Every structure is written in structure tokens, then in C-alpha cells.
Structure 1
Amino acid sequence: MEFNGLLLKLPKAIRLFIGAFVIVLSIGYYTGLLFVSETSTSNPSGIEENYLGNEADENAEIMKFKKSKRQMLTIVHTHILSMSFIFFLLGVLVWLTNLPTRLKLFLTIEPFLSVLLTFGGIYFLWSGISWFKYIVMLSGFLMTATYTASALIVLYQLTFSVKNANIINQ
């Protein structure tokens, strides 16, 4: 069975259903990023402060305390599981698009590596390996970039009709 470009050939009702799913999934994903921006800053010291606390800083605007082991395990556990499902479902849709196989491989495998590096990195940062804050930042950026690219590609290709399916190079 040929999967490449199958997304373009699905009935309109199913394409609308998939489009609605990707839009709602994206709202949830980007709302999570807004939450991250509210609880920490997008720089290495802000990431470190969010998990290790800032009790030593007497001038801190908002006092933060080091997360407990239970909190860290909950954060890592829930995020790895939920992000795996998000990237699996979006990855299935990417495999149904009309794109080169190498690009599909990158867009569908990289997010899983980024999930492990981001949330594993947060745990290692919490454990005292402070340079992991840079890994967390880089992998978080890559995870968001691949999510955005995948969602936009799926939404873009959902708008094509069967007649236009051959325009995109394989």
C-alpha cells in the first residue's frame, strides 16, 4: 500500500476531521509553551531556576524552591508519555503527506530524541549537572521547530485536492 500522498486523497470529511484535530492539538501544544514562558524564562538561568529554585537570591521577584524528587518524576513521566503520543499521532499524519522520505524521517524521529533530551535533561539538571540547561534549551527549540513544521505541512497538504497532489515533488 502506498502511503506517500495518501493524505491528499482522503475524502473531504476526513481531511476536515484531521485538520480540526491538528488545529486543536496545536492550540494545546502552544498553550503549554505559554505556560513554560510564564513559569520560567527562555534562557539557561531561567530554566535552571525553575527546577533548582532561587532561594539564595534575596532580590528575587518571585521566590522559587527546588522541586522535590516526586515533583520531578511526575513532570518527566507525564511529559514524556504525553509528548510521545502527540508526536506519534502527528508523525502518522506526516507519513501520509507527499514529502521526501528523508524529510519525513527527520520530522518524525527527531521529536522523540528531543523529548528524551529535554525532559531527561531537566532531570539531570535537577540532579546537579548544570550544563544540561543548554541541552534542554536546544532540544526544546528543535522539538518546537519540528512540531511547527509538521503541523504546518499537514495543514497545508490537507487543503490540496486530488488534482493538485502531483504538484509536490517526491
Structure 2
Amino acid sequence: MVEALGMRPEQFFAVHPLPMNAGRVYLISGRGEQLAKLYRQAVSRPEQFRLVAGSDVDFVKLAPFIALGLRQAGDEAEAQRLLAEADRLLRTERLDRVPGQLALRARVRAVMGQSRAALDDLTSAVRQGWVPEPPELQTDLAMDPALASLQSEPTFERARQTILRHFAKERAELGPVDLSYLKALPY
């Protein structure tokens, strides 16, 4: 996938939202080991990845995907180090508005195996009006591999349905969008 673009791994992880979208595809398609390989080609430890990611918030957004890829590649120790650094940042730094920070923490905690805490954070974020912002996070939480471990929980499904209703209401209010003018564009 990304390999065909001829990008260096450092470039791949720095061109946002590409690594979030490609990371999701790698994981959903069972190619998490390739994502882990890109990570290892770019850096040798999580602290270096913070620099490559471009910002702490981008690091925290990517960390759950990379950790899942590292797990698929059999490197649980590096996955834990990466998640620990993301968790540390989320506990000590203000990276986003409160609901957004809670959602980021829910993703990290879910991958860390802290399901109850992840569900509490996710529920709190949604109650405070948080919704995923595409293209980095899909509008349907069921499409986020970082939250896959929570999908059987009724609390997760309630949060998911609240978000889906929000977007359905927005679509209903906006009505259909005419894109026929795009056919006349020269590209």
C-alpha cells in the first residue's frame, strides 16, 4: 500500500492524516506487521516517534495503531513502551479540548487492556459532545481498530449510537448535496 508510494517511513508518519487512515487499513486488512515494520524503519524507540509524528497529539493518535501492529508482529514489549509514553502524555499534557483528550485516552486505554477505564473515558467524551473528526477518526467507532476490544460492551454501543445519531441529524439538516458541477472540472 504505502510502499508503492516510495515514501520513506519518516515521511509516511509525518504526512497527516495519511498514517491514521493507512494505519487503520493495515490493521483491518490483517497487515499490522507491515505497519510495525514501517515504525521500526523510522525509529528505534517511542521518544523518537514523538518527533517523527510531528506533534504530541499526532503521536497519541497514532500510538494505538502502531501498538496493535507491533502486537501482530509479536513485539508486545515495544507496544507497551509506546502505549506507556502515550498514556504519560495524556496524563501530564493538555493535548486537546477536554472531550477530545478523553477520547484519545479511551483509545490508548482500550489498547492497553484497560476496558473499564476506556469505556468511562469514551462515555464521558461523548456526553460532553465529542464526535470523531474525519478523516483521522471515522464517524463510526466500530471502524476504529483501537476500540475493537470494546465493541461487545453495551456502553460502547450506546456511545457509538449517540455519535451515529448526531451525524444522521446533521445529514438530514443539510439535505442532499449536488456534486454534478465536479464533472466540468478540468482534472
| Global fold match (TM > 0.5) | no
- The TM-score with structure 1 as length reference comes to 0.28
Give the number of the structure whose alpha-carbon radius of gyration is greater: 1
- The TM-score with structure 2 as length reference comes to 0.27
Higher relative contact order (CA 8 A, sep 6+): 1
